[in-house]
Amino acid sequence: MNAETEPVHPSIGRRKLEERRRFLRTIMLGAVMLGISTLGFIPVARAWRVRMRPPGALEESDFLSSCIKCGQCVQVCPVQAIRLDDIDQGFGVGVPYIDSRKQACDFSCDAVQCILACPTGALVYKKPDYMPSRGEMRVANPPILIAKEKDPEPTLNLKERSGLARLARPEACLAVQGKGCNGPARGAEFKGIMRFTEVDRWKPIPLRDHPFDLPLCDLCVRTCPIRGAISLEPVVDEKGIKHMTPTVHEPCLGCGVCEMVCPVEPAAIVVDARKGWGV
Amino acid sequence: MANKYWESVRVMLGGEPRRQPPSEYTEEAKKIHFYKKTEKLDFAALKAEARAQQKKGVWLKRRWIALLSINLLFVVSYWLDIQILEGALTASRMLGFHLIDLNSALQVMLAHKHIIVNLLIGTGTVFVLWLLLGGRTFCSWVCPYHFLAENAERLHVYLVERKWVTDHTFLRGVRTICWFLFALMAIVTGYTVFETISPTGIVSRALIYGPGLAMGWVLLLLLLEIFYSRRAWCRYVCPIGLTYGIVGVFSPVHVTYDLANCHHEGECRRVCEVPHVLDCVIKGRSPTAQVDIGADCTRCGMCIDVCPSGALKFEIAGLRKIM
């Protein structure tokens, strides 16, 4: 083993010694390369970051194994909501995710094009029978996209949600406090874009170019792209005071638009990735 | 004939090239070897004449243009949204047709254990493409890591000449073992383990979607190749190379060696990424007058560029007979 330090033994010979060294080197090389590749398991096993995957994604471990890390979903997304993970995500390197707070999926494409682009079936319209998703991920009725409500086919070709919105910080919510919202929802610097059908049905515009003037903030409700997914409901607190409170309903797909537009920092409403209805 | 293919696979998997027994040599080859031994030609003059006629770096130029344009096409397809070649090298769509890298497809199939039609179509298309074009042609004509590595290799060779670093070789068989272990890990863990460290995928995605931390790993590999071992990743580890190598075993496109023109200077072996495929150029080794270079050859054409006497050429099998 300590061939490196030992003087050349007369009975071994230089050639033999070099061969032995090369053999050990080779084992080291193989072990290092295979070892480093398995390190990719750590971020996955620890679930350092629970990533929101694009719509139609298989369950997480199936998604990681079936995704071929090509980014075709990234290329077709009209609002560039999809990004690819880096090597700090281990086996997740090159796998798409959505950071809703930065740029949410607002279904501007009308047809969930990322699913159409996926070559390996990591994103699917309908989960295959051998890979059923959890029941709570299924939506009761085909989701109606408000933007194409007047079309002959108003529903989105999706049968499952990718997460669920939740009012995480009701005390910070402007509506709960009875406050309004003036100007651009996320300030003049925010780079996120989304579609406003009243401006242009086919072209998403920067959120900062679409200021609001609301006596009572209901941004999460008015920008939600899905019919009946969220509404402001009067909720009476323990002191008997009535607060208008954003309330998430069953049709919610977890697209994250509410999280993106929420004007308070950090957002009062967030999307829990991969969370189902009623659990 | 079958023997020739088997030998080429055996050498690719890590076996040392075997010297053929004299009984295997063709009469023609024997004759050429005999003349080379006996006839006292003025080799110095022949070499000088051949060198004067040599075209320098023709294939290198062609290959770099091809490699850079393919990778650039990926980039501009996305950036300018012209949609000619969408995706990355692991999987893409060329004018709508699915193209899927064979090794990435293999990793996904083994990890996921379900194969959908699009995956099969894309893999099939690419399989036929590289079967026709020569398997490891992918490595030297397409792989963006190859481009980085061959430039790192120049630096390495320079440093070795200056005696500032020493080249450390490994046993080539380790690539075969890595291939099987990466496949096994995909099956057992259910994750595409190799893709995590694949510099081909990382560099391709970095070009198209912007670089990230993953390029740090690529940099480490390049440092290993510059300061420790020449072309270590491509020669001893990369399972993509072996996958394409197997695909190219029966490929009609290959480099062919002409014994009669060879002066046995060994320049081709010095520039080659996989010198074991050029074992036949050693004086007295070639059992036939023409030899088709084995499957591990990346068809990079560097040997053709440096050969001063035109003993190495690209050939498309069958075309020689027709013409």
Q: Contact B13/B246 with Cβ under 8 angstroms?
A: no
Interface test with A, best of B184, B191, B198, B209 (most A CBs within 10 A): B191
| pLDDT above 70 (res B322) | no
Q: What is the C-alpha to C-alpha distance for residues B106 and A120, in angstroms, rounded to an integer?
A: 12
**pLDDT tens-place string over residues A230-259:** 999 999 988 889 999 999 999 999 999 999
Confidence band, pLDDT 50/70/90 cuts, at residue A10: low
| pLDDT above 80 (res B321) | no
Average pLDDT score over chain B: 91
pLDDT at position B88 is 95
A118 Cα to chain B: minimum distance (Å): 9
- What does the pLDDT average to over A263-277? 94
Q: What is the C-alpha to C-alpha distance for residues B108 and B158, in angstroms, rounded to an integer?
A: 40
pTM score, two decimals?
0.91
- Say whether residue A70 is in contact with chain B using an 8 A CB cutoff: yes
Q: What is the C-alpha to C-alpha distance for residues B114 and B105, in angstroms, rounded to an integer?
A: 11
Q: What is the C-alpha to C-alpha distance for residues B239 and A243, in angstroms, rounded to an integer?
A: 62
Q: How far is CA B58 from CA A122, A274, B134, in A?
A: 43, 55, 19
- Which residue among B88, B178, B196 places its CB closest to the CB of A70? B88
| pLDDT above 60 (res B132) | yes
List of residues 6+ apart from B286 with CB closer than 8 A = B29, B33, B257, B259, B262, B280
**pLDDT tens-place string over residues B19-54:** 888 888 999 999 898 888 876 666 677 777 777 777
CA dihedral B56, B58, B63, B69 (to 10 degrees): 110
pLDDT at position B1 is 47
**pLDDT tens-place string over residues A47-82:** 777 899 999 999 999 999 999 999 999 999 999 999
| pLDDT above 70 (res A6) | no
| pLDDT above 80 (res B205) | yes
| pLDDT above 60 (res A4) | no
Q: What percent of chain A has pLDDT over 90?
A: 78
**Closest-approach residue (CA) in chain A for B109:** A66
Q: What is the C-alpha to C-alpha distance for residues A229 and A219, in angstroms, rounded to an integer?
A: 13
B15 Cα to chain A: minimum distance (Å): 14
- Supply the DSSP string of B267-283, one letter for each residue: HHHHH-SSGGGGGGGST
List of residues 6+ apart from A123 with CB closer than 8 A = A54, A55, A56, A57, A58, A73, A114, A115, A117
**pLDDT tens-place string over residues B244-274:** 999 999 999 999 999 988 888 889 999 999 9
Q: Contact A68/B88 with Cβ under 8 angstroms?
A: no
Tokens at residue B182, please? Answer: 């990466």
Interface test with A, best of B196, B204, B240 (most A CBs within 10 A): B196
pLDDT at position A9 is 61
pLDDT at position B146 is 97
Give ipTM to 2 decimals. Answer: 0.89
**Closest-approach residue (CA) in chain B for A129:** B114
| pLDDT above 70 (res A165) | yes
- Side by side, the strands of the sheet bearing B253-258 are B290-292, B253-258, B312-316
Tokens at residue A65, please? Answer: 């194994």
Q: How far is CA A142 from CA A92, A105, A117, A195, B28, in A?
A: 31, 18, 21, 21, 76
